[in-house]
A and B are shown apart, each in its own frame.
Chain A
Amino acid sequence: MALLAAQQGQRVLLVSADGRGDIAAFFEKRPVGFRSETVFPGLSAMAMDTEASLQEYLRLNLRVPIPGRVGPLAKVFDFVATAAPGVKEILTIGKICWEVRESLEGRAHWDLVVVDAAATGHIVAQLGAPQAIDELVAVGPIKTQTGWMSDLLSDSGVTALNVVTTPEEMPVHETIELVGRVREHLPVSLGAVVVNRVLPELFTHADEAAFEALRQPAAVAALEGATGPGVGDVLTAADLAVTLRRTRAAHLARLREAVELPLLYLPELFIRAQGMRVTRMVADALGEELGL
């Protein structure tokens, strides 16, 4: 998504909310840290680091000297983050929201911030952190900080949560559950569900009948005579492909019915390559789905 937007001429910031610097490997670049680095023309990437985010926050907002005097900051931070629920989440969301606000107010230049967010189990807690903190903290500076974050997150013109899944039983189940929980607990609007690794439909209805006939013993014997002994494996593999596709189609149907969101399909890639080659192919497929 980030590459596609950059190719369309947008200035994009890609954030790994889990702090995985190797997100840059998708662009054949060395791992990135908290400071964003350009990984493609118009596209910068950064890895979240909640401790660095806290330092930045303290420096920018409270004008408190970096508390070197209270012992190793890492230890103190670790402690506070463990003791006070939501601290890590708010520092992650806070940094992302801050980049967005700076851009909206003309102090930073991102047209789009793409976040590779936390896993399904944590995303509601992460996006709900401003709200949760708001409920816990009666007064104090944090209270004034959570308001604007909630405003940005709940503005459907600014933020959209997109769910990525695969057409398998558990991922589809989790996606349906997540969409339900987001609608119930978060003011964040949902964009689309991106279904990755969709297997191709092999046959039209008429050709499927032909495939059935080709698997009859007489036909198989004739095929082996014409093409060689390996044709049996080819038929078996085709059967596997058809069955896998059919099982997945059922999950997709369930998903489509349950989420009531636009679905974007990305094909299973049968290639050996990794890195930029794959990123490009996925961006192209996404662009096609979006009609760009």
Chain B
Amino acid sequence: MTTIETESLDRLLAAKSIAIFCGPGGVGKTSVAAASAAVAASRLGGKVLVVTVDPARRLADALGLSALGNLERPVPPERLKAAGLEVRDGLWAAMLDTKQSWDDLVLRHARDEETAYRILENRLYHNITARFVQSHDYIAMERLHEIHAEGGYDLIVVDTPPSRNALDFLEAPERMADFFGSRLLRWLTMPYRVGGRRGARMVNMASRPFYQVADRILGSQFLEDIAEFFLNFQTMYEGFVARAKSVEALLHDRRTTFVVVSTLETAPLREAEFFVSELQARKLHLGAVVLNKTLPDYLLDEAGDAAARALVADPGPAAEAASRAEPDLDPAAARRALATIGESFLNFEVAAKREAELRSELGRLPAPVLRVPAFEEDIHDLSGLARLGECLFG
């Protein structure tokens, strides 16, 4: 399969309706996703939504997301305009509220209201939705499906949740389906189904090794709590599994693309490469790889290197020449400053070379690789996003 080489996200996002931005933590994924959404809304038109997980506060404020909750909100057009972004059909933003999304899910799939409330009030449920690692990942995908199914947007840009394993969210729908359909779950809850909810619990079952072990580790009361919770939860099984399956189908849909974001540092890049190979193994569409916060190319110039070395070796002649041109300049201070900036250039040159090496090791990727320079300032407002976005759209 050949991929058309594009130097920008322009054509990719014009052809897709869902773009999922993923990659290791700390690489500026949220900014890249938000910038792509903002510039897509202005360049490509159409109604664009960016769903983000935990943006830095100033960025959230810039997107008008200061309030919590799952609500999708329009980014004020006049603010976009002030940042140089002419948006025709609107840029919207939403934050993912895990707890609320789970509650909605339970209310939608529970057999009846009573079951729903029994689940919602269960303390295990609170623990699971708050602490369960995969719950965050699953609900992000579930929410994406929900928004997509409503058909309110031309393009949905998703900033994936930070997770220990960048792939968790891909596996989440499948794992959820497996989990609720598993024989083990039926096995674990069997004594409670046979003997009624509390009554003659574990008459025969209790003698089996599995329950003995489980009992000794977890304690029978806890085991009973778990079983009760999952018996209730299991009533949602069919709706849940059907849903998980369609979430998975959506990820494989040809209108969905994945953009992997990384920096040119060893550890994040290795994670990103792993991610790329996993996407390929799962036959998911890799749209682009974005290398964020890269150092500028002029650091690799030979002329700069030569000048820096000369300044470090002997800043005297340059300091004298500069002092003659700028009468206010103190020659001694000029000498110190020139030696320092020569040293600093050589330092940054080492870092830039390290990045260049990593980039060449990246090898052939089946998708365009885009570079975003390190901006001197953090991206925290709409004009910052516009600047970043320009780099991605060429």
A residues lining the B interface (CB < 8 Å) = 18, 58, 62, 64, 67, 69-71, 75-76, 79-80, 82-86, 89, 118-119, 121-122, 125, 132, 136-143, 166, 168-171, 173, 200, 202-203, 206-211, 213-214, 216, 218-219, 221-223, 225-238, 240-241, 243-244, 247, 270-272, 274
Complex Cα gap A221–B218 (Å): 77
The 10 closest A-B pairs by CB, nearest first: A140-B219, A230-B303, A233-B304, A230-B307, A210-B333, A238-B341, A270-B347, A222-B325, A243-B376, A226-B321
Complex Cα gap A118–B353 (Å): 31
Complex Cα gap A140–B222 (Å): 8
Closest residue of chain A to B316 (Cβ to Cβ) is A226
CB atoms of A169 and B209 under 8 A apart: no
- Contacts A228-B303, A228-B307, A236-B298: A169 and B219 contacting too (C-beta < 8 A)? no
1/0 contact trace for B350-381 toward A, CB 8 Å?
11011000000000000000000010111010
CB atoms of A137 and B345 under 8 A apart: no
Closest residue of chain B to A86 (Cβ to Cβ) is B131
16 extra interface residue pairs, beta carbon distance < 8 Å, beyond A218-B325, A230-B305 = A18-B164, A58-B217, A64-B213, A79-B179, A119-B162, A125-B131, A139-B221, A142-B222, A143-B219, A202-B344, A210-B336, A233-B299, A235-B341, A237-B341, A243-B377, A247-B376
Write out the residue numbers on chain A whose beta carbons fall within 8 Å of the beta carbon of B11. none
Write out the residue numbers on chain B whose beta carbons fall within 8 Å of the beta carbon of A274. 266
Complex Cα gap A121–B345 (Å): 37
A181 to chain B, nearest CB (A): 13
Closest residue of chain A to B328 (Cβ to Cβ) is A213
CB atoms of A84 and B218 under 8 A apart: yes
Closest residue of chain B to A271 (Cβ to Cβ) is B350
Closest residue of chain B to A71 (Cβ to Cβ) is B210
A81 to chain B, nearest CB (A): 10
Closest residue of chain A to B301 (Cβ to Cβ) is A233
- Best-buried of B162, B215, B217, B351 by chain A (most CB within 10 Å): B217
B133 to chain A, nearest CB (A): 7
Partner of B217, one of A62, A222, A229: A62
Write out the residue numbers on chain A whose beta carbons fall within 8 Å of the beta carbon of B26. 166, 170-171
Q: Is B318's beta carbon under 8 Å from chain A?
A: yes
CB atoms of A85 and B128 under 8 A apart: yes
Q: Which stretch, B100-108, B181-189, B247-255, touches the partner chain A? A: B181-189
Complex Cα gap A141–B342 (Å): 65
Write out the residue numbers on chain A whose beta carbons fall within 8 Å of the beta carbon of B374. 240, 244
- Contacts A207-B336, A234-B304: A82 and B179 contacting too (C-beta < 8 A)? yes
1/0 contact trace for B35-66 toward A, CB 8 Å?
00000000000000000000011100000000
B369 to chain A, nearest CB (A): 22
Write out the residue numbers on chain A whose beta carbons fall within 8 Å of the beta carbon of B177. none
Secondary structure dominating the interface of B: helix
Closest residue of chain A to B184 (Cβ to Cβ) is A79
Q: Is B83's beta carbon under 8 Å from chain A?
A: no
Complex Cα gap A121–B133 (Å): 10
Complex Cα gap A221–B324 (Å): 11
Complex Cα gap A121–B25 (Å): 11
CB atoms of A222 and B57 under 8 A apart: no
Partner of B210, one of A70, A82, A83: A70
Partner of B325, one of A62, A76, A219, A241: A219
Complex Cα gap A175–B192 (Å): 45
Complex Cα gap A38–B308 (Å): 44
Q: Is B2's beta carbon under 8 Å from chain A?
A: no
The residues in B between 289 and 340 inclusive whose CB is less than 8 angstroms from any CB of A are: 296, 298-299, 301-308, 310-311, 317-318, 320-322, 324-326, 328-330, 333-334, 336-338, 340
Q: Is B3's beta carbon under 8 Å from chain A?
A: no
Q: Is B127's beta carbon under 8 Å from chain A?
A: yes
CB atoms of B350 and A272 under 8 A apart: yes
CB atoms of B127 and A132 under 8 A apart: yes
Complex Cα gap A166–B345 (Å): 22
Write out the residue numbers on chain B whose beta carbons fall within 8 Å of the beta carbon of A210. 329-330, 333-334, 336-337
Complex Cα gap A238–B26 (Å): 25
Could you name 6 residue pairs across A and B whose Cβ atoms are closer than 8 Å? Answer: A85-B127, A132-B131, A140-B219, A207-B337, A243-B376, A244-B374
Complex Cα gap A62–B163 (Å): 33
CB atoms of B226 and A83 under 8 A apart: yes
Partner of A270, one of B128, B230, B340, B350: B350
Closest residue of chain B to A239 (Cβ to Cβ) is B376
The residues in B between 197 and 218 inclusive whose CB is less than 8 angstroms from any CB of A are: 208-210, 212-218
CB atoms of B25 and A240 under 8 A apart: no
Closest residue of chain A to B53 (Cβ to Cβ) is A121
- Contacts A75-B184, A137-B219, A221-B325: A227 and B350 contacting too (C-beta < 8 A)? no
Q: Is B132's beta carbon under 8 Å from chain A?
A: yes
Partner of A233, one of B124, B303, B320, B340: B303
CB atoms of B216 and A141 under 8 A apart: yes
CB atoms of A237 and B340 under 8 A apart: no
Complex Cα gap A121–B303 (Å): 46
CB atoms of B333 and A227 under 8 A apart: no
CB atoms of A247 and B378 under 8 A apart: yes
CB atoms of B307 and A233 under 8 A apart: yes
Complex Cα gap A125–B129 (Å): 12
B325 to chain A, nearest CB (A): 4
Closest residue of chain B to A138 (Cβ to Cβ) is B221
CB atoms of A142 and B307 under 8 A apart: no
1/0 contact trace for B156-172 toward A, CB 8 Å?
00000011100000000
Complex Cα gap A213–B56 (Å): 37
CB atoms of A233 and B333 under 8 A apart: no
Partner of B321, one of A69, A76, A225, A230: A225
B392 to chain A, nearest CB (A): 19
